[in-house]
């Protein structure tokens, strides 16, 4: 994955400040399923939730369409923004965005 001009330090800082369940929870209605959270996948049409978020691993995975990754992957795929745009956006929000 090419990060362009953004240093790994900044990415790590942001990653440490945000929680994937917060970010995904703004876009997807999540319910608890054991260790994970489940919801309807935003990347394909489905009636039964197969979209899973793991708070402990800070990743998401969809068993329906195979989408998966970390919080940055989620936002780039969902919003169509580039990786640097997502990083900048998250940096500005400071991870304390209220819906």
Instruction: Kindly list the residues in this chain that would bind Zn ion in the complex (CB under 5 A).
Output: 41, 43-44, 62, 64-65, 67
- The least CB distance from residue 68 to Zn ion, in Å, is 9
Query: Among residues 44 and 57, whose Cβ is nearest to Zn ion?
Result: 44
Query: Among residues 62 and 71, whose Cβ is nearest to Zn ion?
Result: 62
Torsion of CA 93, 25, 55, 88, to 10 degrees: -20
* Dihedral sign, Cα of residue 52, residue 54, residue 57, residue 59: positive
Query: What is the rounded CA–CA span in Å between residue 9 and residue 40?
Result: 33
- The least CB distance from residue 74 to Zn ion, in Å, is 12
Query: What is the rounded CA–CA span in Å between residue 78 and residue 94?
Result: 20
Query: Among residues 43 and 83, whose Cβ is nearest to Zn ion?
Result: 43
């Amino acid at each position: 994955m090419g990060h362009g001009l953004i240093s790994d330090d900044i990415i790590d800082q942001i990653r440490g400040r945000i929680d994937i369940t917060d970010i995904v929870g703004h876009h997807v209605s999540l319910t608890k399923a054991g260790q994970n959270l489940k919801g309807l996948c935003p990347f394909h049409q489905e009636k039964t939730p197969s979209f899973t978020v793991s708070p402990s691993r800070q990743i998401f995975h969809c068993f329906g369409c195979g989408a998966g990754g970390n919080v940055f992957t989620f936002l780039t795929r969902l919003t169509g923004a580039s990786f640097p745009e997502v990083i900048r956006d998250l940096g500005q929000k400071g991870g304390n965005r209220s819906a």
